[in-house]
Each structure stands twice: as structure tokens, then as C-alpha cells.
């Protein structure tokens, strides 16, 4: 019980004493705790794909007051319930890669199979009155194909190399050779693909009015929008863990 109390205090101390300013890097702020992501999300600031910039830069881009965002960030010490007690920054990179693969990759594959039939159905029934559904369906199809390919590249190339680096260091051996040169090369490709999928879902969100079903929506319509919203939220967490935590740590590990 004492251990849990100490761990909780450490988490609170991290939030209380974290000095967030307008010049703080967005990705690093969210890496401290995912609960900060909600504030960025509500303000319309992309914290996952475009997290490698300052709060001021992001606020200036969309013409909002950076000091207001900083004030909100510094006044929210409570951790998000889902991630309370989980400090992904402290995880070894091989464990983090395993977690992403077994949690988020599995989620993506499962939800694609669930969403596609629902989306096809509401397009068939409702697209005459809501033609935006056709475009939503096109975006999701492209995203499903791209994400499937993206995850395969991570699972077959990047993640095995990360695990190999950890094993080599543990055995005091040289880092494994690769056909892609520096680890920064596949990571740059993964980041670029993240940007593309982030943009696709911004368009899906805009077309669906923030996943708000129209007045004449049936239950299938509402369920579909709910699943798409959940899918995007999970994708944000997925990309955040890679862009803001795993990839920077893997690059430093390889130095």
C-alpha cells in the first residue's frame, strides 16, 4: 500500500512541478502525461503528428492565445484515469514496441473489420441525402489500407530492429546491421505516414461534423460515427506513443 502511495505522489509531483511555457514542445508535454492531450485537442492543436513544435508556434498558426493554453495546462494536475500510474517514458523501447503492437496494432485490425460493414451499410442507405458519407467511406478505405501496410512495416522491420538493439546492448555486442542505414531513415518514413493518416482523419472528422450524426440518423448511422470517433482517438494515442516517445528514445538509444 505504501508503494502505491509513493507512486501516486511521484505522479502528482511530476505534474505540479512540470514547468510548461509557451516555448515548451507539444510532443514532450504530452509525453509527460497523455491527460494534457485533451487540452490540445479541445483547442484544435495536433499533438501527435505535428507535436514537434512549440505551443506558441501551434497557437499562432490557428490564431489563439498561447498563454491561455499554457495556463490551462499548468492548472490540470490530475492524470487521465486511463493512463494514471503508467509512465511510458520510463519503459524500455522494446517493451514499448511490444505494447504498441499488441495493443494498438491489434485494435486497428479488429476495428477496421468492424467498421467497414457498418460504413458500407449507411453509405448504401443514407448517401442520397448525405453525400458526404461517400467521401468518408473513401477516406476510411484508403486509411485502412495504408495503416495495414504501415503496421506490417513496423512489425517486420522497425520493431524487430529495436528489439535487436536492446538485445545487443544487453550482451555488450555491436548494434545489428540494417539494410536501411540509420534508424532515423525508417522512423522518418513512419512519421510521414503518420502525418498522412492524421490528415485523412481530420477530413473525416470535418465531413462528419465532428462525428455528430444528423437528425435523421438511424442507430447504425450513430454507431458508425461513434466507432469512427473512437478509432481516431485510439490512432492519436498510437501515433503519440510512437512519435513523441518511442521514436526519440530509439534514436537516442542507437547513438
Is residue 81 included in any domain, yes or no? Answer: no
Is residue 83 included in any domain, yes or no? Answer: no
29 shares its domain with 101 = no
Residue with cell 478509432: 231
27 shares its domain with 116 = no
Give the global pTM.
Answer: 0.74
- pLDDT per residue as tens digits for the range 83-118: 455 788 899 999 999 999 999 999 999 999 999 999
38 shares its domain with 156 = no
- pLDDT per residue as tens digits for the range 117-134: 999 999 999 999 999 999
CA distance 215 to 209: 12
17 shares its domain with 56 = yes
**Final residue before a domain boundary, out of 32, 49, 74:** 74
Query: Between these two residues, 112 and 77, which has the higher pLDDT value?
Result: 112
Range of the domain at 209: 91-254
Give me the chain's average pLDDT, please.
87
- pLDDT per residue as tens digits for the range 38-75: 788 888 888 877 778 899 999 998 899 988 888 888 87
Number of domains in the chain: 2
Is residue 79 included in any domain, yes or no? Answer: no
Is residue 139 included in any domain, yes or no? Answer: yes
Is residue 85 included in any domain, yes or no? Answer: no
Residue with cell 494498438: 104
Is residue 80 included in any domain, yes or no? Answer: no
- 106-126 and 132-153 helices cross at what angle (nearest 10)? 160
Helix (H, G, I), strand (E, B) or coil at 25: strand
**Final residue before a domain boundary, out of 74, 102, 125:** 74
Residue 158 has pLDDT above 50, yes or no: yes
Is residue 82 included in any domain, yes or no? Answer: no
Listed in sequence order, the residues at least 6 apart from 145 whose beta carbon sits closer than 8 Å to its beta carbon are: none
Is residue 86 included in any domain, yes or no? Answer: no
CA distance 187 to 243: 9
52 shares its domain with 112 = no
CB atoms within 10 A of CB 78: 11
- pLDDT per residue as tens digits for the range 179-195: 899 999 999 999 999 99
The arithmetic mean of pLDDT across residues 150-177, rounded, is 95
36 shares its domain with 118 = no
67 shares its domain with 142 = no
CA distance 27 to 19: 14
96 shares its domain with 221 = yes
139 shares its domain with 181 = yes
Query: What single string gives the DSSP state of each residue in 31-72?
Result: HH-GGGHHHHHHHT---STT-SSBHHHHHHHHT--HHHHHHH
68 shares its domain with 174 = no
Grid coordinates representing 139? Answer: 477516406
Percent of the chain with pLDDT over 90: 64
137 shares its domain with 241 = yes
**Final residue before a domain boundary, out of 23, 41, 74:** 74
215 shares its domain with 101 = yes
CA distance 124 to 133: 9
Amino acid at each position: 500500500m505504501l508503494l502505491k502511495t509513493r507512486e501516486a505522489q511521484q505522479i502528482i509531483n511530476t505534474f505540479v512541478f512540470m514547468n510548461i511555457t509557451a516555448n515548451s514542445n507539444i510532443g514532450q508535454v504530452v509525453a509527460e502525461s497523455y491527460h494534457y492531450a485533451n487540452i490540445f485537442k479541445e483547442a484544435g492543436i495536433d499533438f501527435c503528428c505535428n507535436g514537434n513544435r512549440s505551443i506558441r508556434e501551434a497557437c499562432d498558426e490557428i490564431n489563439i492565445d498561447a498563454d491561455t493554453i499554457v495556463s490551462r495546462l499548468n492548472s490540470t494536475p490530475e492524470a487521465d484515469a486511463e493512463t494514471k500510474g503508467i509512465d511510458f517514458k520510463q519503459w524500455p523501447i522494446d517493451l514499448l514496441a511490444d505494447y504498441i503492437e499488441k495493443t494498438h496494432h491489434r485494435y486497428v485490425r479488429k476495428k477496421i473489420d468492424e467498421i467497414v460493414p457498418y460504413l458500407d451499410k449507411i453509405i448504401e442507405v443514407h448517401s442520397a441525402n448525405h453525400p458526404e458519407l461517400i467521401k468518408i467511406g473513401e477516406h476510411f478505405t484508403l486509411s485502412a489500407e495504408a495503416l495495414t501496410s504501415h503496421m506490417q512495416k513496423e512489425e517486420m522491420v522497425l520493431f524487430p530492429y529495436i528489439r535487436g538493439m536492446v538485445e545487443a546492448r544487453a550482451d555488450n555486442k555491436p548494434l545489428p546491421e540494417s539494410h536501411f542505414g540509420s534508424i532515423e531513415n525508417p522512423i522518418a518514413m513512419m512519421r510521414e505516414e503518420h502525418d498522412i493518416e492524421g490528415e485523412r482523419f481530420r477530413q473525416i472528422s470535418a465531413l462528419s461534423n465532428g462525428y455528430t450524426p444528423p437528425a435523421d440518423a438511424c442507430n447504425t448511422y450513430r454507431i458508425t460515427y461513434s466507432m469512427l470517433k473512437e478509432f481516431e482517438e485510439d490512432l492519436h494515442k498510437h501515433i503519440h506513443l510512437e512519435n513523441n516517445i518511442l521514436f526519440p528514445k530509439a534514436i537516442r538509444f542507437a547513438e
